[in-house]
Amino acid sequence: MPRTTTIECPGCPPLRALTFDALGLIKVIEARGNQGGGVPKVVERWGEPDSSKCVLAASMDDCKLDPLLAVARKSSTIEILNPLNGDLHVAISHDGDSGVQAEDDTIVGLHLFRKHRSRALLTCTAKGNASMRSIELRKLTGLSAKIDSLKNWKVCGAGNILCTKVDESENYALFGGKGVEVNVWDLDNHTKLWTAKSPAKNSLGIFTPTWFTSATFMSKDDHRKFVAGTNSHQVRLYDISAQRRPVLSFDFRETPIKAVAEDLDGYTIYIGNGSGDLASVDIRTGKLLGCFLGKCSGSIRSIARHPELPVIASCGLDRYLRFWDIKTRQLLSAVFLKQHVTSVVLDSSFIDEGEVVSNAPDPQLLEAHDVNENEVEDKAETLPVKRKKSKEKGKSEKEGCEDHGKSKKLKSKKKSRTGISGHSSDDAS
């Protein structure tokens, strides 16, 4: 029998996550409850199981007004959905952009722009065919969205693209993969700004082949620094303003790096590999801050950092979605999803209605409180008011009492003297 361990899960704060799996299903997981003890559960499932519709990439614009969800499937189809109810706005076939069949040129990179290029979509295929599309919402017609192609270009001449990432300003994007060095592109002009250079041979004269599996930008304000994970279990930090080779490089365990995510502080990263190890690293020094407690039994394929809560979500081939506390690195909760999960995104605009209602004051209590206040005010008006004696009056009364006491003492002394004199005269006679 295998050795198993039991880990107590305290629960996670109210949040909402969307997962995408190998059978093309989209599942909505929500955690509700007060004081951070909610248990996440699957509340909705969109689509029917079909291996040909495996989700390869996903991106979400979780704005409060007209949110959108973009999903790239194995059948070379891009779907634009409503992330609140799963309604399909429009589906686009990616065939014909590059003249290559879908089986040979699947979509590996997808980004839905949120800021400057509002309602625009960036896609990249395994052969390096990148394209930019505009999305026009139309609420009055039968179709909810319209897709127009803007620009197509090539990001590599050979090899296969495996990872793409757009920075926070949405002006730059990086691409890398098997046989493709990481390169940074300007999305405004569709021009290449920088290309990495392979590391030198090691002490044994062995050259490490180029094989990037994941990448992410480090800071929201600076697109010049980014981190990339390789198939040779290396994590590399690049600075395009300094040099073409890695500024910092270190090994993590013995299996390929499959997922990399950045933290909000700009220097902490989260790494997941093919053997299920999840850890946080200070990329400034390459120091391992610690591993997350609770071994994952399968390859980690996606890591998502919540933009507000101190929580990260990880998923992979062990069919579990796990939520972790980034401060204690403990497991908050886990959900079994039955299929191999390929990606996860977190909804930052989710609000637990039950918590808001529970925190709101009860109107009946407010009315009773107002009535009590009114009764107290009425009683205060009817009761007689006791006036305090002034200090000067009190002082004068005290002085008067003291003078009266002194006068009594003087009279008693005079009487005693007269009595003594009377007794003495009688004795003399």
CA distances from 413 to 40, 385, 424 (A): 96, 46, 17
What is the C-alpha separation between 248 and 80, in angstroms, rounded? 39
Q: What's the rounded Cα separation, in Å, for the pair 283 and 229?
A: 12
pLDDT for the residue numbered 220: 86
Residue 126: what pLDDT?
Answer: 95
pLDDT at 17: 97
Contacts for 261 with CB less than 8 Å, ≥ 6 apart: 216, 269, 270, 303, 304, 305, 312
DSSP state letter for 98: S
Q: Read off the tokens for 239.
A: 């600075």
Three-class SS state of 298:
coil
Q: What is the pLDDT of residue 138?
A: 66
Both tokens of residue 215?
A: 């990448």
Count CA atoms within 13 Å of residue 297 on its CB side: 10
Which three-class secondary structure state does DSSP give residue 178? strand
Helices and strands in the chain, H and E counts: 3, 28
Q: List helix spans (H) across 155-268.
A: none
End-to-end CA distance of the chain: 133
Helix (H/G/I), strand (E/B), else coil: 90: strand
Hunting for tokens 């300003």 — which residue is that?
Answer: 169
- Placement of tokens 């891009």 in the chain: 78
Q: Name the 3-class secondary structure at 287.
A: strand
Q: Which residues of the chain have pLDDT under 70?
A: 1-8, 34-37, 95-103, 116-118, 138-149, 353-429
User: Which residue, 188, 212, 80, is CA-closest to 143?
Assistant: 80
CATH code at 15-359: 2.130.10.10
**Residue 48 half-sphere exposure toward CB, CA atoms < 13 A:** 0
SS3 assignment, position 274: coil
Domain residues of the chain, as ranges? 15-359
The pTM assigned to this predicted structure is 0.79
CA dist., res. 190 & res. 173, Å (int): 10
Q: What is the pLDDT of residue 366?
A: 45
